[in-house]
Amino acid sequence: MHSHAYNTLDPVVEARVAELLGRMTLDEKIGQLNQVSPMMYVPPAPGADREAPPTFAPVPGVEEQVAAGAIGSIFNVADAAVVNRFQRAAVTGARLGIPLIVGGDVIHGFRTTFPIPLALSCSWNAELVAQTARVAAEEASAVGIDWIFAPMIDIARDPRWGRIAEGAGEDVCLGSVMAAAQVRGFQAADLGTGRRVAACPKHFVAYGAAEAGRDYSAADISEVTLREIYLPPFKAAFDAGAGSTMSAFNDIGGVPASGNRLTLTQVLREEWGWPGLVVSDYESVRELIPHGVAEDLKDAARQGLTTGVDMDMVSRAYSTHLRALVEEGRVAPAAVDEAVRRVLRLKFALGLFENPYVDEDRQAAFQLTETSLALALQAARESMVLLKNDGGLLPLTPGAQRLVVIGALAESRLDALGCWAFFGRAEDAVTITEGLRAHLDGAGPSFVPGYALPGSTTIDLDAAVAAASVADVVVLVVGETQDLSGEAHSRAFLGLPGRQQELVDAVAATGKPLIVVVMTGRPLVIPRLEQQATALLVAWHSGLRAGQAVADLLFGVASPVGRLTASWPRAEGQIPVYYAHKSTGRPAGGDGTTQFVEHFRSTYLDLPNTPLFPFGYGLTYTAFDYTDLKIAAEVVGPDGAVSVSVRVTNTGARAGLEVVQLYVRDLVGSLTRPVRELKAFARVELAAGETRVVSFAVPVSDLAFVGVDQKWRVEPGAFRLWVGPDAAHGLEAGFVVRS
C-alpha cells in the first residue's frame, strides 16, 4: 500500500510556505493556530432511544470567525455541505484565503465501524489493520475530513484505564507495528475520493501510564521508561510518514505533556528532527492551569507555544493572548512563525490550497460498500480471541443441538459498535442473535434477555434458567456496554458489570454446556466466569459485523485466529500485570532469599503473579507443536542478526493459523531488563498435519535499550530466546552478542 509522507521537507512546499508566511499579519498567523469545534453535542432527552444517532447543533459565530481569518482548523463535522460552507468562508472570506484543515475523531472506522483498536491488534495482522484505516480514511475524506485524530498508540498496561480500548495493548514491538500500519492506511495514496488524509498519532506522550488507571492522571515514570516503552510507537508512526501528533493530557514526572520541553522540543525537534505539526488535545493548553503550572490562560498560552504545542484545540488560549505575549516580548515572533509554518506545511502537503472543497455529490458513494462490509467481517473474525474450549465443544454443527441465547448484549446493536464510534450507526450493525439465526435458516435459537441494559438491576433469573434447562447448549452473552470504556470511563472493579455474574451463576447451575461470549472494551477480571464456561470467546466490541463474526466462529465457518495483546488479570490487585516485567532481586520463580527459614519472594500470599490469560494467548480449532529450535550462530557481532528457525506442525484435524512469537531476554545489563521482550512474530497458516519451518532474523540493533545516559545501546553479553505460542510458553535457546 503506497502512502503519502508528511514528515519530510519538500523544497517546493517550503518555498510556498515561506512566501505565504511573509505576507501574513500577526493576527492572521495566530488565527492559523486556533482550532475550534463548530458543532456542539446535544445530550439526548431522558428516556430517548440509546441507539439513536447523536445530535449536534451549530456553535454561533464560528463561520464569521473563519471568514475573518481567526480560525485555522475545525473538527468533527461529518457533512460535506457543512464542511464546504466553512471552507468557502475561509477561502473566499478571509484576506489570504488560507483553507481550513478539517479534523475528525475517526478511531476505528467512519460509517463502516470496525472492531475497536484493542480488538484489531489481536489479529496480529498489520496489513488488515492498514486496510481498515484506509477504508476509514476514504469514508471520512468523502465528507471533507482531511486530518484524522488517530491512531491512538499509547502503550497501556492497566485495563482500569478506559482508553486501553483505543490502542494496541501492552507491548512496544507490536504497538509499533500497529502504529505504522494505521498511519500507512490513513495516509493511503490511492483513496477513491481523490483526496489526501493526514494521520495524527496520539497522545504524546505516556498517557497510557495514567496512575491507578484513572483517565487524565499523572504518569510518574522515569525517563528511561519514557524512552524505552512509550516513545518508540510514536517514532514508528513518524517513520511511516505521519506529519502531526497530539499532545497528551497527563503530566510526566510533574511536567504536563502539553507544556513539556523535554518531549515536545528536545525529543521531537532536536533529537528526531521531526518537522510535523503538534496540536493540543481538547483544552489541554488551558488545563496547564488546574495542573498547577500556569497562573492563568495567558501563562498557559505562553508555556504551550514556547514548549512546542503549535495549534491550540478549543481552549482559545492562543487566539486570546498570543498577540499580547508577543508585544510584551514574552513569546518570540520566530516561535509563532515556526508554529504557523508547520500548520501551513501540512495544508500544502494535503493539497488543500488546490482542492479545498469536497464533492458533495460523491459523499454517499463511499459509505457502507460491499467491500467495506466484507472487510469489517474479516476484521471482526480475526480480532476475536478463543480463550477456552473444553472437550472441543466448538465448533458447533448447525441444527445438531438446541441452542438458547441468554444476555441482553446479544441483541444490542449500539454496544457492538464500541466506544468512539461517532460516525457509525447502530442500525447498520448485525446482532449476535441475528448472526446465529442466519446459520439456522432463520429459525431459533430462542433468546432470553436475562437482564436489561444499560446499568439496570432488573434481572429475570427464572426465565433464563427455564430456557437453559430445555436447551442442549447455552450461548451466554455478557460483558460491558459501549459506554463503559473509552475516554473518561475508567473502572476500579473489572468484573462483569451489574448483576451479570448472578445470571451466569444461575444458568451455570443447570449443568448445561455453556458457551460464553464476552463483549468488552478492555480485559476483564473473570476468574469465576472462566471456571463456569465450557467455551469462552472474547468478542470485544467488534463493529458492524460483530454478530455475524461470532456466529461464523461458533459454527466453524471461520476459525479463531486472534491472540491477546493485553494480559487479563486474575484480580484488580495484580494490576499492572504485563509479561515484560522486571525480575526483581527476589523473583517469583526463583528460590528467593532465605530469611528466618522461609523463602522471601516477590509474590502475593493469596494469588499467583501470573495473569489469568497471558499476552499472546489464544486458542484455535486445531493444535500446534513446536520442535527443532535452531539458532544459526550462537555468537553474533554488533552489526549482525540473530537467525532463528523452528518447526511448527499442525497436529490437529483442521487447518489453522498460528501466531509464532519470538521473545528475548538480555541476561545481564547495566540496567535491569524485562524477563521477556517480543522482538518478532509471524502468522503461519497450516493445513491439518502440515509442518513448516518458520524463520526469523532479528537484527542485533533490535536488542538495544536505553542506558542511564538516555542513549540507546546494545550491550554485549548473554541472551535467552524463546519461540512459542504466547509470552508464557515456548522453546528456549541461548546466544551471545560480542562487542
CATH number, residue 119: 3.20.20.300
Structure confidence at residue 3 (pLDDT): 95
Indicate whether 442 pLDDT > 80: no
Q: What does the pLDDT average to over 101-118?
A: 98
328 and 451 in one domain?
Answer: no
164-190 residue pLDDT tens: 999 999 999 999 999 999 999 999 999
Structure confidence at residue 274 (pLDDT): 98
Rounded percentage of the chain residues whose pLDDT exceeds 90: 91
Indicate whether 159 pLDDT > 70: yes
Indicate whether 455 pLDDT > 70: no
* Mutual angle of helices 333-349 and 11-22, in 10-degree steps: 130
Q: 202: which strand partners?
A: 152, 246
Indicate whether 456 pLDDT > 80: no
Q: Residue 698: inside a domain, yes or no? A: yes
DSSP helix, strand, coil percent of the chain (3-state; round to 5): 35, 20, 45
Q: Residue 101: inside a domain, yes or no? A: yes
Structure-block grid coordinates of residue 108: 476505528
Kindly report which listed range (92-106, 440-454, 539-553, 691-705) carries the lowest average pLDDT score: 440-454
Structure-block grid coordinates of residue 358: 469536497
Alpha-carbon dihedral angle through residues 227, 232, 234, 240, given to the nearest 10 degrees: 150
Structure confidence at residue 598 (pLDDT): 77
Of the three residues 323, 355, 387, the one that is the final residue of a domain is 355
Structure confidence at residue 503 (pLDDT): 95
Check residues 533 and 40 and name the one with the higher pLDDT: 533
334 and 377 in one domain?
Answer: no
Structure-block grid coordinates of residue 188: 493511503
Residues 308, 269 contacting (CB under 8 angstroms): yes
Of the three residues 539, 554, 569, the one that is the final residue of a domain is 554
Indicate whether 386 pLDDT > 90: yes
Residues 78, 2 contacting (CB under 8 angstroms): no
Indicate whether 206 pLDDT > 90: yes
Quote the mean pLDDT of the chain. 96
Q: What does the pLDDT average to over 289-296?
A: 98
221 and 128 in one domain?
Answer: yes
Amino acid identity, position 533: A
Q: Residue 577: inside a domain, yes or no? A: no
10-65 residue pLDDT tens: 999 999 999 999 999 999 999 999 999 998 888 888 878 888 888 888 899 999 99
378 and 242 in one domain?
Answer: no
Structure-block grid coordinates of residue 143: 465528507
Q: What 8-state DSSP symbol labels residue 394?
A: P
CA distance 480 to 349: 41
For residue 427, the domain's CATH number is 3.40.50.1700
For residue 687, the domain's CATH number is 2.60.40.10
> Residue 308: which pLDDT band, with cuts at 50, 70 and 90?
very high
Structure confidence at residue 364 (pLDDT): 86
* DSSP H helical ranges for 145-285: 172-186, 223-225, 232-239, 261
Compute φ and ψ for 597, nearest 5 degrees: 80, -25
Residue 387's CB: how many other CB atoms inside 10 A? 22
345 and 201 in one domain?
Answer: yes
Burial of 254 (0-12, 13-18, 19+ CB in 10 A): exposed
Structure confidence at residue 409 (pLDDT): 96
Indicate whether 483 pLDDT > 70: yes
Q: Residue 575: inside a domain, yes or no? A: no
Structure-block grid coordinates of residue 685: 497458516
The residue range of the domain holding 711 is 624-737
Structure confidence at residue 128 (pLDDT): 98
376 and 344 in one domain?
Answer: no
Q: Which residues of 327-338 are buried (b: 16+ CB within 10 A; e: fewer)?
A: eeeebeeebbbb
Of the three residues 320, 355, 390, the one that is the final residue of a domain is 355
Residue the block writes with cell 512563525: 337
Kindly report which listed range (33-47, 201-215, 658-672) carries the lowest average pLDDT score: 33-47
278 and 149 in one domain?
Answer: yes
Q: Peptide bond before 445: cis, by omega within 30 degrees of 0?
A: yes
Residues 450, 406 contacting (CB under 8 angstroms): yes
Q: Any idea how long the chain is?
A: 739
Q: What does the pLDDT average to over 529-538?
A: 98
CA distance 495 to 572: 9
Q: Residue 722: inside a domain, yes or no? A: yes
Residues 545, 486 contacting (CB under 8 angstroms): no
Structure confidence at residue 111 (pLDDT): 96
- Prediction pTM value: 0.97
Q: Is 147 helix (H, G, I), strand (E, B) or coil?
A: strand
Amino acid identity, position 390: D
425 and 545 in one domain?
Answer: yes
Indicate whether 68 pLDDT > 90: yes
Indicate the helix (H) or strand (E) that contains 133: helix 126-142
> Residue 331: which pLDDT band, with cuts at 50, 70 and 90?
very high
> Residue 259: which pLDDT band, with cuts at 50, 70 and 90?
very high
281 is catalytic: yes
Structure confidence at residue 46 (pLDDT): 83
CA distance 379 to 377: 5
387 and 346 in one domain?
Answer: no
381 and 306 in one domain?
Answer: no
CA distance 50 to 405: 22
Distance from the Cα of residue 341 to its chain's centroid: 30
Q: Residue 610: inside a domain, yes or no? A: no
CA distance 186 to 130: 8
Q: Residue 601: inside a domain, yes or no? A: no
Specify the number of domains making up the chain: 3
350 and 423 in one domain?
Answer: no
Rounded percentage of the chain residues whose pLDDT exceeds 70: 99
Q: Residue 366: inside a domain, yes or no? A: no
Catalytic residue among 281, 310, 415, 666: 281
Closest CA to 441 of 546, 559, 539, 555: 555
379 and 343 in one domain?
Answer: no
Indicate whether 346 pLDDT > 70: yes
